[in-house]
């Protein structure tokens, strides 16, 4: 009898571990804290990109309404894949999108790219030396930040933003933020 | 078209493995010869089909077919050929395909070379092997299809993570997988033995070479990984206790225990239940490792969130494979009776001690790796467990183990006495003590642990050599006779000596690099000089140039010692064109006494000055030399005659024990 118990121990230990696993994996994964979520956007003041307009883009532009900040570059293949969706988003007028043109080697490339594929952005800042990108903790392009009316980062999307992420995550968050802002 | 062919081959392989996992199993139970015989052709066909699928995936990578999602997200036309190929397994889907390829390859090897296995055992082993494969095929086909198409196809791919574009890392995953998947053989044999209700010397003799081969690959894979971390990550470290490394280290610890335990099961007909359990645990940890390394599901909850189907599938797969086999163990394990009795102080006792320490160490590493996840499940918030925890748990376990490791081989089977062994080791003890003291005096400002580790390394190395000397009776019989005995030693015993010696050499390397590394970080203008451990580094400035798919800044250093030129170092910082991600390529000058290691950082100001990091890593190269010796020892042991001749019957096994 004792001998049987001894052979049961590994199974019992495993089942306990599995229980923890199951609970651990069902924890709300959206709560994975990004370093900057819930914090104000870092201070930045970027010059306009050559050949678009002369407004530029600074952290102070983010006060007043909910907006998306999209990190892109004409060299980035995934940004090209993401681009049509950003154009749709602009057409629908659901939210203002600002762009940070990251690590452009040729100063004309960003504007040329936007001319060719369409320009979904309200404001675009030029960031050839990664000043703003580093402050935002960007690891690659594209990345998109959801910023609320007070200029606080609410969410970060790594990789291309698409319809699925928009409908499931970003859109509900924007609606909630607007409701809170209005009340 | 090629992608569809690969997809189709994969589906056929699934059906083949379903056939292989059911019919022979039933046949073995009911003694239907023709059903049993089906195991062999299905195993071989399954392998050929996966090989075809894998070939198709390699092909779409080679021609850069950007209508396949997998190629788009991991390749680029600019990429050198070797990285187009290594890109195949540099991602989740492709690495799973490599995994099943190796799994079915091992299965086919048993089918082809297992002629002298009892037919029912062979059928059951192959059936279990195929069950694991079924799980993987389903996982791939439903959640991670490497052949998925994209429309419209983009013009070019997104490129492979630049950190992975490195020869060391191109071959690291296949090595690791050969190790992980190799342990599936031990697992299949263990499950088959539980079904048969019998573990005998013949069984253990079959399990041992597979375990040994897997162990060699895993050792080489881990060494390759740490070497890569050393020269690529650019801060002179070689082991970080991160989940990915732990994932490969846990099966190594358990596999090492299995290797020793299987020896006892083979020679002394005891520790059988323990050996079977270790086989199950080792493969379970390998499975966990596969998912930790490639899918990122268990390391980061974020990855799980983006694709919950994969996570749930993996969890269910793990529960079925591990839980199922442990349940079988609880049910059938008690029937495995041992005949060999032994005293606590004996060869068996020493090997059991090794087993206990190794499994405890594996459990500690598992705890540290999963703790963040467990704590989160309890609502304790997010934490990360780092080197301090692992060092605090792991090192105290290893110290007594290495002390005992030199003594163990001197003990006799059944019952023994420690005193004669200790007397033979007095020379090793003296030398170890002296080395430790000298190291302590020379590095009084450094950690004491360094001196202790160095002493342990010397103790174990001399212990292994002393054991070899006493085995050939050096200085007891004429030298010529002793040397003749050297040539007649069984290769398995060379394996043990080299394995232990290799670990000793590695420990010496770890002691040096872990305790006495000298680091210096500064801004250097061209012409500036820095002294490190007696070496004078002169910064000669940095130059820009371009590689095949990256641009590069190379910082040049001239190193002199006492005014004499030692070497020139060119440390590179590369920026890859597609992802714009920078990587560092440290410049390393290796000597047996230590490595000179230089890294160049960002420019500082306009006068050509750069941030530089310079290191002297004493003895570090011995760490990898040691692992090479270990792998070489394993390979020698694999060529032992006893593995090639058929497993003897019970009575002959007893006779072999008397001779050993």
Domain of residue A100, CATH code: 3.40.30.10
Largest CA distance in chain A: 84
| Cβ-based contacts of A24 with chain B (< 8 Å) | 301, 373-374, 376-377
B41 and B24 in contact (C-beta within 8 Å)?
Answer: no
Alpha-carbon distance B289 to B292, whole Å?
Answer: 5
Q: In Å, how far is B522's CA from the nearest CA of chain A?
A: 22
Is residue A1 included in any domain, yes or no?
Answer: no
B62 and B3 in contact (C-beta within 8 Å)?
Answer: no
Residues of B numbered 292-311 whose beta carbons fall under 8 angstroms of chain A's beta carbons: which are they? 300-302, 304-305, 311
Q: In Å, how far is B427's CA from the nearest CA of chain A?
A: 43
Residue of B nearest to A24 (CA): B377
For all residues of chain B together, what is the average pLDDT? Answer: 85
Q: How far is CA B179 from the centre of its chain?
A: 6
Q: How far is CA A22 from CA A19, B64, B243, B315, in A?
A: 5, 40, 19, 8
Confidence of residue B301 (pLDDT cuts 50, 70, 90): very low
Q: If you search the block for the tokens 């090629």, which residue do you land on?
A: B2
| Cβ-based contacts of B325 with chain A (< 8 Å) | none
Where in the sequence is the domain holding A148, given as residue range(s)? 34-182
The mean per-residue pLDDT over the stretch B125-136 comes to: 95
What's the pLDDT score for residue A30? 42
B453-509 pLDDT per residue, tens: 999 999 999 999 999 988 888 777 888 888 888 888 888 889 999 999 999 999 999
What's the pLDDT score for residue B382? 59
Query: Which backbone phi and psi does B518 adopt, to 5 degrees?
Result: -110, 130
Encode burial over B488-508: b for 16+ CB neighbours within 10 A, e otherwise.
eeebbbbbbbbbbbbbbbbbb
A23, A80, A140 member nearest B377 (Cβ): A23
Residue B581 sits at the chain A interface (C-beta within 8 Å):
yes
Q: Whole-prediction pTM value?
A: 0.79
B107 and B43 in contact (C-beta within 8 Å)?
Answer: yes
Alpha-carbon distance B458 to B532, whole Å?
Answer: 27
Residue B156 sits at the chain A interface (C-beta within 8 Å):
yes
A7, A32, A73 member nearest B302 (Cβ): A32
ipTM of the complex: 0.75
For testing contact with chain A, the best of B308, B330, B549 (most A CBs within 10 A):
B330
Residue B115 sits at the chain A interface (C-beta within 8 Å):
no
β-pairing, B535-546 with B550-561?
A: antiparallel
| Residue B598: HSE in the Cβ half-sphere, 13 Å Cα cutoff | 29
For B566, residues 6+ apart whose C-beta sits below 8 A from its C-beta are B535, B559, B560, B589, B596
B595-607 pLDDT per residue, tens: 999 988 888 777 8
Q: What angle do CA B277, A6, B215 make, to 5 degrees?
A: 15
B59 and B94 in contact (C-beta within 8 Å)?
Answer: no
Residues on A contacting B at a C-beta cutoff of 8 Å: 3-4, 7-8, 10-11, 14-15, 17-18, 20-25, 27, 29-30, 32-33, 73, 75-78, 80-81, 102-103, 140-141
Confidence of residue B22 (pLDDT cuts 50, 70, 90): very high
Q: How far is CA B132 from the centre of its chain?
A: 20
Q: In Å, how far is A75's CA from the nearest CA of chain B?
A: 7
Alpha-carbon distance B628 to B385, whole Å?
Answer: 30
B208 and B249 in contact (C-beta within 8 Å)?
Answer: no
Q: In Å, how far is B334's CA from the nearest CA of chain A?
A: 6
For testing contact with chain B, the best of A28, A29, A130 (most B CBs within 10 A):
A29
Inform me whether the pLDDT recorded for B625 exceeds 80. yes
Confidence of residue B659 (pLDDT cuts 50, 70, 90): very low
What's the pLDDT score for residue B384? 66
A15, A24, A77 member nearest B373 (Cβ): A24
Of residues B372 and B586, the one with the higher pLDDT is: B586
B172-187 pLDDT per residue, tens: 888 888 999 999 999 9
| Residue B153: HSE in the Cβ half-sphere, 13 Å Cα cutoff | 14
| Domain range annotation of chain B | 2-335, 518-621
């Amino acid at each position: 009898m004792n001998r049987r118990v001894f052979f049961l121990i590994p199974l019992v230990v495993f089942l306990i571990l599995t229980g923890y696993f199951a609970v651990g994996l069902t924890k709300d994964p959206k709560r994975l804290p990004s370093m900057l979520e819930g914090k104000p956007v870092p201070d930045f003041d970027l010059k306009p990109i050559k050949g678009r307009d002369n407004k530029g883009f600074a952290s102070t532009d983010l006060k007043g309404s909910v907006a998306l900040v999209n990190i892109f570059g004409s060299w980035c293949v995934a940004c090209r894949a993401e681009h049509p969706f950003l154009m749709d988003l602009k057409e629908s007028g659901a939210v203002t999108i600002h762009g940070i043109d990251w690590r452009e080697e040729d100063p004309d490339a960003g504007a040329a790219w936007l001319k060719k594929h369409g320009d979904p952005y309200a404001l675009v800042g030029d960031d050839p030396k990664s000043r703003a990108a580093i402050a935002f903790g960007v690891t690659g392009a594209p990345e998109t930040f959801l910023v609320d009316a007070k200029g606080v980062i609410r969410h970060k999307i790594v990789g291309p933003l698409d319809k699925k992420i928009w409908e499931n995550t970003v859109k509900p968050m924007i609606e909630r933020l607007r409701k809170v802002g209005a009340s | 078209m090629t992608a569809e062919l690969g997809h189709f081959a994969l589906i056929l392989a699934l059906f083949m493995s379903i056939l292989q996992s059911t019919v022979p199993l039933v046949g073995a139970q009911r003694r239907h010869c023709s059903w049993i015989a089906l195991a062999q052709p299905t195993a071989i066909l399954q392998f050929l089909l996966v090989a075809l699928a894998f070939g198709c995936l390699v092909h779409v990578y080679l021609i850069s077919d950007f209508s396949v999602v997998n190629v788009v997200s991991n390749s680029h036309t600019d990429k050198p050929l070797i990285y187009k190929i290594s890109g195949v397994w540099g991602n989740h889907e492709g690495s799973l395909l490599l995994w099943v390829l190796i799994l079915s390859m091992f299965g086919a090897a048993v089918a082809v070379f297992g002629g002298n296995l009892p037919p029912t055992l062979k059928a059951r082993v192959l059936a279990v092997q195929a069950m694991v494969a079924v799980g993987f095929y389903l996982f791939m086909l439903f959640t991670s299809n490497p052949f998925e198409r994209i429309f419209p196809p983009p013009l070019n791919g997104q490129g492979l993570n630049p950190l992975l574009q490195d020869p060391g890392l191109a071959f690291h995953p296949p090595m690791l997988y050969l190790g992980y998947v190799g342990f599936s053989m031990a697992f299949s044999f263990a499950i088959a033995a539980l079904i048969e209700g019998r573990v005998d010397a013949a069984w253990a003799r079959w399990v041992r070479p597979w375990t040994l081969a897997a162990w060699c690959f895993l050792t080489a894979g881990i060494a390759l990984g740490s070497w890569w971390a050393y020269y690529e990550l650019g801060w002179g470290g070689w082991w970080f206790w991160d989940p990915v490394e732990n994932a490969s280290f846990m099966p190594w610890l358990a596999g090492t225990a299995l290797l020793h335990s299987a020896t006892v099961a083979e020679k002394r007909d005891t520790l059988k239940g323990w050996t079977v359990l270790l086989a199950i645990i080792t493969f379970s940890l390998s499975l966990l490792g596969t998912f930790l390394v490639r899918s990122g599901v268990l390391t980061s909850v974020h990855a799980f969130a983006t694709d919950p189907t994969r996570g749930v599938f993996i969890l269910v797969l793990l529960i079925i494979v591990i839980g199922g086999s442990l349940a079988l163990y609880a049910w059938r394990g008690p029937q495995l009776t041992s005949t060999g009795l032994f005293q606590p102080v004996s060869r068996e006792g020493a090997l059991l001690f090794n087993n206990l320490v190794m499994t405890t160490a594996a459990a500690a590493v598992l705890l540290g790796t999963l703790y963040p996840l467990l704590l989160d499940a309890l609502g304790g918030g997010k934490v990360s467990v780092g080197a301090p925890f692992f060092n605090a748990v792991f090192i105290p376990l290893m110290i007594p183990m290495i002390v005992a490791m030199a003594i163990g081989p001197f003990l006799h089977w059944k019952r023994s006495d420690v005193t004669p062994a200790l007397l033979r080791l007095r020379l090793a003890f003296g030398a170890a003590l002296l080395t430790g003291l000298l190291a302590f005096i020379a590095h009084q400002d450094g950690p004491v642990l360094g001196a202790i580790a160095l002493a342990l390394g010397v103790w174990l190395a001399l212990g292994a050599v002393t054991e070899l000397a006493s085995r050939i009776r050096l200085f007891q019989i004429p030298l010529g006779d002793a040397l003749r005995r050297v040539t007649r030693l069984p290769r398995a015993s060379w394996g043990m000596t080299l394995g232990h010696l290799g670990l000793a050499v590695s420990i010496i390397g770890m002691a040096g690099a872990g305790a006495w590394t000298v680091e210096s970080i500064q801004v250097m203008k061209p012409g500036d000089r820095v002294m490190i451990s007696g070496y004078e580094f002169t910064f000669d400035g940095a130059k820009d140039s371009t590689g095949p798919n990256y641009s590069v800044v190379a910082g040049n250093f001239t190193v002199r010692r006492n005014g004499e030129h030692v070497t020139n170092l060119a440390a590179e910082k590369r920026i890859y064109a597609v992802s714009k991600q920078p990587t560092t390529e440290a410049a390393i000058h290796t000597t047996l006494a230590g490595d000179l290691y230089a890294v160049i950082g960002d420019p500082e100001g306009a006068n050509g000055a750069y941030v530089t990091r310079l290191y002297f890593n004493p003895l570090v190269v011995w760490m990898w030399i040691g692992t090479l010796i270990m792998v070489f020892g394993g390979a020698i042991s694999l060529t032992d005659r006893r593995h090639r001749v058929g497993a003897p019957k019970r009575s002959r096994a007893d006779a072999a024990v008397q001779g050993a």
